[in-house]
């Protein structure tokens, strides 16, 4: 599809003319004409922050150097990415980053695919004036069972923290301390258990985050890259099998934005050890004389054919059934069911051996019955939902915590407990039908009747403007039998005063 000419901006980058959509960042505009601007913190799928300053460029008529990852294009801009001022700034940034960065390249898993290596060779000074002792930390520390952190390698690009907040929807990773003492860590009382945590290993530009499974197993140039598709669920995320000496050592994402936006979940990334297991079946086994013995594929298929034919002839086609692997492809599943339905004449086909276990009822369910119930805490920062509400809102074990909120989960099963904090409550609000004024008045009258039954005469409530207007209607009707102490929403104080 061609771009609307009115939406295109023309600028000059290092003498080359670029025409790009309005709003494009300079770093992307440079890519469009084959010019590379070095970056560390910038990632095209996350908001720009300009944290590392590696992408500084010179724009004519602008007195100071600007970060290409945060500066949008403008009509008639003239940009220089390799002027003497820019080169001096880039060399300074590299020199500062390497001042405390350890010389771990020979043992670092990131070696050979490391942006810091590439940028140091491409834009660095080539020598170091730093002679003082480098900063040292205990290394490594476990961020999670799958991820290790080497703090002295970290350059504080914040890619990992931003990924968890912007993409994965969690808040476990934070910046600890301030200034030159800043480091990446987990928030107090939190664990880094995001179901997408492994992506932080892939986007880390310096090898500060490494995989426990892959650590010290191979060098990147020794790995054969085999394009494949994840078989752990029906999404079919694209990935690369990274293989050495005929063993799968690592799974890496493969670009296919239409399917998975280039991210992998932790199950798809880390659950591959069974492939290399010595106990894995690698040759068909056929039962002979009461024992399983190795056979050729032709012998095994013949045994299956003869066995199915014998059962069908003796007991009819409905006496046989097939269990297809849930990890098979759509094409394999189609051929499997066609074998049973069209050839054997049996409709007994499934993909699991037991019914899906029912979800355990929540404690709140015992007193709410079959009615969806969602109750806010007094301060408005937490709410309690029963199972019916969670189902209506689509909140499951796989639902990530939204930015600014958390879904409290069972520590054993990982299932939601019904407690939703802060922005997690919006997952329910977005599917909850809005109450009419009449419904709110009716609810207030029912609540007052219940309060009278228990002798309650004073009630405190964190209210919305709609709730307060309902109380006002009840008061005007002469049916307000209790004193309400309402917290007025700050955004509505003028209309409610």
* pLDDT band per the 50, 70, 90 thresholds, residue 6: low
**Is 469 part of a structural domain of the chain?**
yes
Q: Which helix (H) or strand (E) holds 219?
A: none
Q: For residue 244, count CB atoms less than 10 angstroms from its CB and return exposed for 0-12, middle for 13-18, buried for 19 or more.
A: middle
Structure confidence by residue, pLDDT tens digits, 437-465: 999 899 889 988 888 888 888 877 766 77
Judge if 74 and 199 occupy the same domain: no
**Is 414 part of a structural domain of the chain?**
yes
Q: What is the pLDDT of residue 415?
A: 87
Judge if 290 and 269 occupy the same domain: no
Which residues have CB under 8 Å from 313's CB, separation 6+? none
Judge if 160 and 255 occupy the same domain: yes
Beta strand spans in 213-356 (E):
224-229, 238-244, 247-253, 285-288, 291-294, 322-323, 349-350
Asked, as a colleague might, if the bond just before 140 is cis with ω within 30 of 0, I would say yes
| Angle formed at CA 134 by CA 57 and CA 137, multiple of 5 degrees | 110
As a whole number, mean pLDDT of residues 150-170 equals 93
Higher pLDDT, 189 or 156: 156
Q: What is d(CA 272, CA 256) in angstroms, rounded to the nearest whole number?
A: 21
**Is 195 part of a structural domain of the chain?**
yes
- Among 77-81, 388-392, 477-481, top mean pLDDT goes to 77-81
Q: What is d(CA 163, CA 54) in angstroms, rounded to the nearest whole number?
A: 20
142: domain CATH number? 3.30.70.20
**Residue whose tokens read 């008529």:** 61
Judge if 190 and 259 occupy the same domain: yes
| pLDDT tops 60 at residue 473 | yes
**DSSP per residue over 28-65, as a string?**
HHHHHTT-----SS--TTS-----S-TTEEEETT-SS-
Q: For residue 205, count CB atoms less than 10 angstroms from its CB and return exposed for 0-12, middle for 13-18, buried for 19 or more.
A: buried
| pLDDT tops 50 at residue 1 | no
Structure confidence by residue, pLDDT tens digits, 231-286: 887 788 999 999 999 999 999 999 888 888 889 999 999 999 888 888 888 899 99
Judge if 301 and 388 occupy the same domain: no
Percent of the chain scoring above 90 in pLDDT:
58
Higher pLDDT, 136 or 208: 208
Q: How many domains does the chain have?
A: 5
Judge if 310 and 400 occupy the same domain: no
* Closest CA relative to residue 137, chosen from 120, 117, 154: 154
**Is 32 part of a structural domain of the chain?**
yes
Classify 120 as helix, strand or coil.
helix
* pLDDT band per the 50, 70, 90 thresholds, residue 367: confident
Judge if 184 and 78 occupy the same domain: no
As a whole number, mean pLDDT of residues 116-121 equals 96
Average pLDDT, rounded, for the chain: 89
**Is 356 part of a structural domain of the chain?**
no
As a whole number, mean pLDDT of residues 163-170 equals 90
Q: What is the pLDDT of residue 236?
A: 86
Judge if 221 and 286 occupy the same domain: no
Q: What is the pLDDT of residue 350?
A: 87
Residue 148 in tokens:
């290790």
**Range in 222-231, 310-319, 396-405 the model is least confident about:** 396-405
Last residue of a domain, one of 275, 305, 324: 275
Last residue of a domain, one of 218, 245, 275: 275
As a whole number, mean pLDDT of residues 47-75 equals 96
**Is 120 part of a structural domain of the chain?**
no
Judge if 424 and 441 occupy the same domain: no
33: domain CATH number? 3.10.20.740
**Is 46 part of a structural domain of the chain?**
yes
Judge if 148 and 270 occupy the same domain: yes
Q: What is the pLDDT of residue 5?
A: 61
**Is 215 part of a structural domain of the chain?**
yes
Structure confidence by residue, pLDDT tens digits, 211-225: 999 999 999 999 999
* Closest CA relative to residue 274, chosen from 222, 213, 192: 213
As a whole number, mean pLDDT of residues 322-332 equals 84
* Closest CA relative to residue 248, chosen from 225, 215, 282, 280: 225
Q: What is d(CA 218, CA 225) in angstroms, rounded to the nearest whole number?
A: 13
Provide the domain limits for residue 307.
Answer: 282-315
* pLDDT band per the 50, 70, 90 thresholds, residue 490: low
Judge if 251 and 372 occupy the same domain: no
Contact between 406 and 432 (Cβ < 8 Å): no
Q: Which helix (H) or strand (E) holds 302?
A: helix 297-315
Q: What is the pLDDT of residue 360?
A: 67
**Residue whose tokens read 């979940």:** 265
What sign for the dihedral angle of Cα 233, 236, 242, 243? positive
Percent of the chain scoring above 70 in pLDDT:
94
Q: What is d(CA 122, CA 118) in angstroms, rounded to the nearest whole number?
A: 6
| pLDDT tops 60 at residue 357 | no
* 148-170 b/e (C-beta count within 10 Å ≥ 16 → b): bbbbbbbbbbbbbbbbbbebbbb
Classify 298 as helix, strand or coil.
helix
Question: How many CB atoms are located within 10 Å of the residue 13 CB?
Answer: 25
As a whole number, mean pLDDT of residues 473-497 equals 74
Structure confidence by residue, pLDDT tens digits, 406-424: 899 887 778 899 999 988 9
Residue 40 in tokens:
């560390």
Judge if 383 and 270 occupy the same domain: no
Q: What is the pLDDT of residue 233?
A: 79
Last residue of a domain, one of 406, 429, 452: 429
């Amino acid at each position: 599809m061609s771009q609307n000419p009115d939406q295109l901006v023309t600028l000059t980058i290092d003498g080359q003319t670029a025409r790009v959509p309005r709003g494009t960042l300079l770093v992307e505009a440079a890519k469009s004409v084959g010019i590379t601007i070095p970056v560390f913190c910038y990632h095209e799928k996350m908001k720009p922050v300009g944290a590392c300053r590696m992408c500084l460029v010179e724009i004519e008529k602008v007195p100071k150097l600007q970060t290409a990852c945060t500066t949008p294009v403008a009509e008639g801009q003239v940009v220089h990415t390799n002027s003497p001022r820019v080169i001096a700034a880039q060399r300074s940034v590299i020199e500062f980053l390497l001042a405390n960065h350890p010389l771990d390249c020979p043992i670092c898993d990131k070696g050979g695919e490391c942006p810091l290596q590439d940028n140091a060779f491409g834009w660095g000074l080539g020598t170091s004036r730093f002679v003082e002792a480098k900063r040292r930390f205990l290394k490594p520390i476990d961020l999670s069972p799958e991820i290790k952190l080497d703090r002295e390698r970290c350059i504080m690009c914040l890619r990992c923290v931003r990924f968890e907040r912007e993409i994965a929807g969690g808040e476990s990773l934070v910046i600890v301390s301030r200034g030159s003492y800043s480091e990446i860590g987990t928030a107090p009382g939190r664990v880094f258990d995001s179901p997408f945590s492994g992506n932080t290993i892939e986007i880390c530009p310096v090898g500060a985050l490494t995989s426990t499974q892959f650590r010290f197993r191979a060098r990147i140039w020794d790995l054969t890259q085999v394009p494949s598709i994840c078989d752990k669920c029906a999404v079919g995320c694209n990935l690369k099998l990274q293989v050495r000496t005929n063993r799968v050592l690592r799974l890496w994402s493969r670009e296919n934005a239409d399917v998975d936006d280039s991210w992998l979940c932790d199950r798809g990334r880390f659950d591959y050890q069974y492939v290399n297991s010595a106990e894995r079946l690698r040759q068909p086994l056929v039962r002979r004389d009461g024992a399983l013995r190795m056979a050729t594929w032709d012998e095994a298929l013949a045994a299956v054919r003869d066995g199915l034919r014998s059962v069908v002839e003796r007991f009819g086609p409905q006496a046989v059934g097939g269990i297809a692997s849930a990890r098979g492809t759509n094409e394999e599943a189609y051929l499997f069911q066609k074998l049973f339905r069209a050839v054997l004449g049996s409709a007994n086909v499934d993909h699991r051996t037991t019914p899906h276990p029912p979800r355990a009822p929540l404690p709140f369910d015992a007193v709410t019955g079959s009615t969806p119930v969602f109750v806010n805490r007094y301060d408005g920062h937490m709410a309690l939902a029963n199972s019916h509400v969670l189902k209506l809102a689509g909140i499951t074990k796989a639902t990530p915590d939204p930015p600014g909120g958390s879904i409290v989960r069972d520590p054993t099963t990982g299932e939601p407990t019904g407690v939703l904090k802060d922005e997690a409550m919006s997952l329910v609000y977005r599917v909850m039908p809005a109450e009419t004024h009449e419904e709110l008045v009716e609810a207030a009258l029912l609540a007052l009747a219940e309060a009278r039954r228990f002798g309650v005469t004073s009630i405190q409530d964190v209210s919305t403007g709609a709730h307060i207007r309902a109380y006002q209607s009840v008061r005007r009707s002469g049916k307000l039998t209790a004193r309400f102490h309402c917290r007025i929403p700050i955004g509505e104080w003028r209309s409610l005063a």
